[in-house]
Amino acid sequence: MEGPRGESVVEPGDAGKRLDVFMSSRTGLSRNRAQRLIASGAVLLDGEPARKNLVLAEGRKVSWEIPPVEPEEVTPQDIPLDVVYEDASVAVIDKPAGMVMYPGPGHPSDTMLNALLARYPEIEGVGGKGRPGIFHRLDRNTSGLVAVARTEEAYQSMVRMMKRREVERRYLALVSGDIPAEQGTIDAPMGRSDRSRKKMAVRQYGGREAVSRFRVRERFKQGYNLVEVTLETGRTHQIRVHFSYMGYPVAGDPEYFRGRGRRELGLDRQFLHAFHLAFPHPISGDEMTFNSELPEDLVDVLDRLRSGV
């Protein structure tokens, strides 16, 4: 299975940096892993294998492929799941805020993947090692609908549909600030942030295509807008980054909102919910549509805003 690929043109601000430092900032890898990646020949400079201590010049093109990390074995855990739909090929789960999708640093267990393996043991190995059956994801503190493939045939079909943009994903987000337009499109490429390798950022040079369409559903006098967002692409943190970049950060977002921060409006997570998911069935081709109601904590926020509290 291929790992993530990417490329980036060296901007003026990156000229003079060592290649391993540049790779760490672009990919989120540690310096040591970036060095190992370069040494393995997986990083190219203008199409040729590069050296880790190479000093970069403006305008040169760096490209890479990151091999997938072989994960430790994931233990099935009998954790309750809100299953919206299931058949022999696919399942749709309504994920609560706070649930991590799969094990990683800081959360080795109690994830959705642990729960999925207990309920659907046949997904082990589907799609290769690492994230069995999972072909799209939600952030830990984003709630809503996630589809999971239960067979290899269904997984490959869903991956193809994602690439062809045949999977419709809509979100509800409460954003800070009064958006002047009733609807619009944010077309701003994204990549790793130079300031923090754990965060994403809009990158006009070297970023990957990222497109979000939105329409304003409701405006509040306290300076918030409820927006419905449709993803054309699925970059990490895409909605949160796009609206922060436009000056309308998602309410309660602890990473991309520099204003009132995490506890605004009583929120202890970002106001972001994946409420609509639609796609052709990966085997039969039948159209499938699912919707999820806003969780109680987000409904409470809207009720307070409507009442003027």
Per DSSP, the chain holds a count of helices (H) and strands (E) of 6, 15
Pairing outcome for strands 224-231 and 272-280? unpaired
Which two three-digit tokens encode residue 203? 């990158």
Pairing outcome for strands 143-149 and 272-280? parallel
Residue reference for tokens 């855990």: 77
Local structure of 105: helix, strand or coil: coil
Selected catalytic residue, list 20, 139, 268, 286: 139
Instruction: Examine the residue annotation and report whether 139 is marked as an active-site residue of this protein.
Output: yes
Q: Count other C-beta atoms under 10 Å from residue 249's C-beta.
A: 24
Sign of CA dihedral 100, 101, 104, 110: positive
Q: What is the 3-state secondary structure (H, E, C) of 120-172?
A: CHHHCCCCCCCCCCECCCCCCCCEEEEEEECCHHHHHHHHHHHHCCCCEEEEE
Which distant-in-sequence residues (6+ apart) come within 8 Å of 257 by Cβ?
176, 244, 249, 250, 251, 264
Local structure of 271: helix, strand or coil: coil
Dist. CA 223–CA 227, nearest whole Å: 13
Closest CA to 155 of 1, 31, 309: 1
Which two three-digit tokens encode residue 67? 């091999």
Residue 186 host element (H or E)? strand 183-187
Pairing outcome for strands 43-45 and 61-65? antiparallel
Active site residues: 139
